[in-house]
Chains A and B, each alone.
Chain A
Amino acid sequence: MIAAHDSLIVHMITRVLLPVIQLYGIYVLFFGQYGPGGGFVGGVIFGASLILTLLVFGARSNENYLAKRALRADGLGLIIYAGIGGLCMIFAGQFLNYSAVPLPGFDPPATRSLGILGTMIGVAVDIAVTSISIVDSLSFADEEGRLV
């Protein structure tokens, strides 16, 4: 069971930092198309922000509703991944052959890039959910205190 942190300074600084961390996580996710970054790292940073809310505000507070919601989304990221792959199969391409999807106004290389971005979003969601559920199972081993 994680209790809320008792320092007002920590609370206020966390409130300021949270949106910045989450924005940075999303930036890293999208920047992965052009340089170092991508789904895994972006997901880890985003998941770290959720863990931070849990540590600072405690398990019982309303501030970490996103972390509680995330625990229910187990597998969502992989569904996004498999769904995009399946979409390519519906358009008669191989699994994950994004260029087979006919998007109006996009040539095949651009479609590929978009498809990779979509699967990376799936990966990021999955990593974030996994990190928060690891914290959940490590710190709430007693059944009554679980987040969900």
Chain B
Amino acid sequence: MTSQAVCLIFLLPFSAAVAMPMLGAWRRSWCRPLALSAVGLMALFAFSACYDVLTQGPVRYALGGWDPPVGIVLVLDGLSGLLAVALSLVSLACLFFGGPALPKDLGSKVVPYHTLVLLMISALAGVTLSGDLFNLFVFLEVSALCAYALVGLSGGRALIAAFRYLILGTIGASFYLLGVGYFYAATGTLNMEDFLNRLPDALHSKAVLTGLTFILLGLAIKAAMVPFHGWLPDAYAHAPDAVVPLLASLVTKVSLYAMTRITFWVLGASTLTYEFPLLFLLSMGGTVGAVVGAFLALTQQDLRRMFAYGGISHVGLIVIGITAGNQTGFSGGVFYLANDAVMQATLFFIAGIIMYRCGARDLNQLGHLGSQMPWTSAALIVTALSMIGIPPTGGFFGKWYMVLGALEAKNYLAVAAILSSTLLTLAYFVRIIERMFGEKPSNASAAQLASEEPVEMRVSMGALAASIILLGLFSDRIVGLILRSAVPPGLG
């Protein structure tokens, strides 16, 4: 008897997704309850599986009963357990938010929306659970295909953005696959643990280095690290409102997780990572990304584009934390990753609600909304505090540990990057808040408010804004948990 919870995390949304087209043709109104209950159950199983892992150690689930390294294995350890919990909760909130926004921008495409979203959530869960380099590619590609379709779901200009996303995403996936091919040629295995055992013999082969270059390039495109971020702002600015929070909060974060997993667990923190200046290179990429992303966000007029560039800058920050080369920085980076998933979802909830109620996307149209939409403004202020990094929000503690890690590694450039991106973030949020509470715009058309936002939208926005503060209040415990059970072996 094995614990089935690990497999059910992946399987529940998958089964619901494949049942959705037939159910939707029969009873369209049942799509949403089915999707919500599948993801809710997934969250429960993720909690129970994560609890088991944290108390009893990592779980390996051999699909089909074939043991690794021959068979395909799902691995749930501390890092993937915590991430699976975060992923299922955030996606539950995003699904809950998405319902009332649907008729406005998706029309009759309710069934495809629910199918694709569930399929994407199951594939993202698959990425976190995968213990095998090739299956990680398959899950990444399934989630990416769903993401392309979701971006283009509402047609029109979104199709162009979706096509661009498709081209760049496919290039990233091909690079990753090519890299996996080199790895396989050098060691003859695709299983992550087996690979780590066989790596010392192949350490100085050029094939491993070439494969590593391709894999990291591919994942950097998927994770939208500067300078590979070109696809992201367009895709997020034109995708349907019900879809963007899910994309922004999860897709790039899961690619970052894959990068972390490969850097520290597949290549081994103690061997290749330190002989080859891998961590240094990644950290430089993150440093550039954190500053450039925040600077580009400052120059935007469109609300969603601004948030999208903010997300790019935060990807850079997370990379800085994770590649600091010590436990403090790593746990800060992982904690910030979870935080950033919540913050991005909340930001795009807010953008969606503003769009829903007054059709405004441009900063200049935001005038005077602050007093008319008190809940939304409160959530925006909480999220802004966390994005900037002011206690007691989660963002502050994440940045705090990352700065400590960078200081410990004597990487003062990274410290400077974190601090300057904080200042730039402050600057662009001040721009938004100043507009929201500023004077009424001269043209009266901007203030055409729809009566109220639906209660689902408000609840999911409020829940995530509250969880930003909760993440801050319980940051000690969570970071302690990460330090105890989720840091890679051999990290100083």
Contacts and interface: CB of A to CB of B under 8 A. Distances in A.
Interface of A: 72-76, 78-79, 82, 85-86, 89, 92-100
18 contacts: A72-B25, A74-B22, A75-B21, A78-B18, A79-B15, A79-B18, A82-B18, A89-B4, A89-B7, A92-B1, A94-B65, A95-B7, A95-B11, A96-B63, A97-B63, A97-B64, A97-B65, A98-B64
Contacts of A79: 15, 18-19, 22
Contacts of A74: 21-22, 25
A79 B19 CA distance: 6
A130 B22 CA distance: 14
Given A79-B18, A82-B15, A85-B11, 20 more contacts: A74-B25, A75-B18, A75-B19, A75-B115, A76-B22, A78-B18, A82-B11, A82-B18, A86-B11, A89-B7, A92-B1, A94-B7, A94-B64, A95-B7, A95-B64, A96-B63, A96-B64, A97-B63, A98-B64, A99-B65
Contacts of A86: 11, 15
B20 interface: yes
Contacts, number: 52
A48 to B, nearest CB: 22
B20 A94 contact: no
Contact of B63 (A75, A76, A94): A94
Contacts of B25: 72, 74
- 3 pairs of A and B residues whose beta carbons are closest in the complex: A97-B65, A78-B18, A74-B21
Nearest to B8: A89
B203 interface: no
B236 interface: no
Contacts of A93: 65
A82 B19 CA distance: 10
A82 B14 contact: yes
Interface of B: 1-2, 4, 7, 11, 14-15, 17-22, 25, 61-65, 115
A95 B65 CA distance: 8
A73 B23 CA distance: 10
For the complex, would chain A's binding face be called helix, strand, loop or mixed by DSSP majority? helix
B130 to A, nearest CB: 14
Contact of A73 (B11, B20, B22, B115): B22
Nearest to A94: B65
A78 B14 CA distance: 9
Contacts of A98: 64
A96 B18 CA distance: 17
Contacts of A76: 22
A94 B19 contact: no
Given A79-B15, A89-B4, A95 B63 contact: yes
Contacts of B115: 75
A76 B22 CA distance: 8
A94 B2 contact: yes
A91 to B, nearest CB: 10
Contacts of B64: 94-98
Given A94-B62, A94-B63, A96-B63, A75 B11 contact: no
A89 B7 CA distance: 9
Contacts of A73: 22
A109 B115 CA distance: 35
B22 A72 contact: yes
B74 to A, nearest CB: 9
Contact of B61 (A75, A78, A94, A99): A94
B137 to A, nearest CB: 19
A81 B115 CA distance: 17
Contacts of B17: 75
B25 to A, nearest CB: 6
B22 A75 contact: yes
A24 to B, nearest CB: 28
Contacts of A78: 18
Nearest to A99: B65
A74 B115 CA distance: 11
A67 B281 CA distance: 55
A99 B17 CA distance: 27
Contacts of A100: 65
A115 to B, nearest CB: 9
A108 B230 CA distance: 53
A91 B387 CA distance: 48
Nearest to A81: B18
Nearest to A129: B21
Contacts of A99: 65
A100 to B, nearest CB: 7
B75 to A, nearest CB: 14
Contacts of B2: 92, 94
Contacts of A97: 63-65
A32 to B, nearest CB: 17
A130 B7 CA distance: 26
A76 B23 CA distance: 11
Contacts of B14: 82
A104 B273 CA distance: 54
Contacts of A95: 4, 7, 11, 61, 63-64
B477 to A, nearest CB: 33
Contacts of A92: 1-2
A41 B115 CA distance: 26
B264 to A, nearest CB: 27
Contacts of A85: 11
Contacts of B1: 92
Contacts of A72: 22, 25
Nearest to B25: A72
A85 to B, nearest CB: 8
A76 B115 CA distance: 13
Nearest to A80: B18
A22 to B, nearest CB: 23
Most buried by A among B62, B63, B65: B65
B366 to A, nearest CB: 38
